[in-house]
Amino acid sequence: MKVLAIDASNAALSLGLAEDKRFVAETTSVGLRNHAVRLLPAIEHMLESVGWVPKDIGTVTIAKGPGSYTGVRMGVTVAKTFAWSVGARLVSISSLQALSFNGPKSAMVCPIFDARREHVYSGLYLDGINQLEDRYVHLQGWIDVLKDTTDKPIHFIGELTEPIRDVLQKAFQEQAVFASLQASVPRASELAIRAEDWTSESNVHTVVPDYLKLSEAEANWQRRTT
């Protein structure tokens, strides 16, 4: 089965192709933050580069968030539309889980996205399996949860800004292992290769982004109306 995977949930835009669990192609760009302009042309170009057409795709895999509201929403919309238009399966997974696959095997991996104002999106994974559920959480509160959960080395991966890294290093000291910049970039090819192992959505139209928190505009509206 031919698979297209999309991760537009954060600063990096990553697309991957696989066939029968084998890598075919991948394109990843970092820091441009113009996913709205680049996503559809990038999909078209990558398919053309391997001689595929849209109807060849049997499964579409999407990283459904958390992350950038705009990126998550756009990625999910494109994935749903593509899958529906060609009659493909749609598989959706957490963007944090997607990033955790870049971590070492048989190790506690903690993917982190900066949610600003001393908050993060994070979870804890072992070989891609959720050990602590994804959440939007104050960084210090998350540190307390992690300390109560494991005394093993924790491999932190993702948006490790200097302030976040400093706080984690001080809290965990030798227990903290920090991923390289390269390892902290999502790789959609991993999602494409693994797609056949995951259950597809029963209804493409019911798939929604997983933001884990309300946007600031939604939160303000909710406060005004309650």
Check residue 73 and give its pLDDT. Answer: 96
Out of 32-41, 45-54, 61-70, pick the least confident: 32-41
Check residue 160 and give its pLDDT: 95
d(CA 71, CA 74) in angstroms, rounded, equals 5
Does the structure show a pLDDT above 80 at 216? no
- In 3-state terms, what secondary structure has residue 14? strand
Structural domains of the chain sorted by starting position, each given as residue range(s) with its CATH number in brackets: 2-95+186-224 (3.30.420.40), 103-178 (3.30.420.200)
DSSP single-letter state for residue 199: P
Tell me: pLDDT of 226 over 70: no
Predicted confidence (pLDDT) at residue 101 exceeds the cutoff of 50? yes
Model confidence at 219: pLDDT above 60: no
Q: What digits encode the pLDDT tens for the residues 143-168?
A: 999 999 999 999 999 999 999 999 99
Q: Which pLDDT score, from 0 to 100, does residue 87 have? A: 97
Q: Is the CB of residue 136 less than 8 Å from the CB of residue 216?
A: no
Nearest to 176 by CA among 197, 198, 150: 150
Is it the case that residue 203 has pLDDT exceeding 60? yes
| Range in 50-59, 96-105, 122-131, 216-225 with the lowest mean pLDDT | 216-225
- pTM for the full predicted model: 0.93
Region 35-62 average pLDDT: 96
List the Cα angle 105/107/113 in 5-degree steps.
Answer: 100
2: pLDDT strictly greater than 90: yes
Residues in the chain: 226
pLDDT tier at 31, thresholds 50, 70, 90: confident
Residue 218 has pLDDT above 60, yes or no: no
Question: Distance between CA 193 and CA 22 in Å, rounded?
Answer: 6
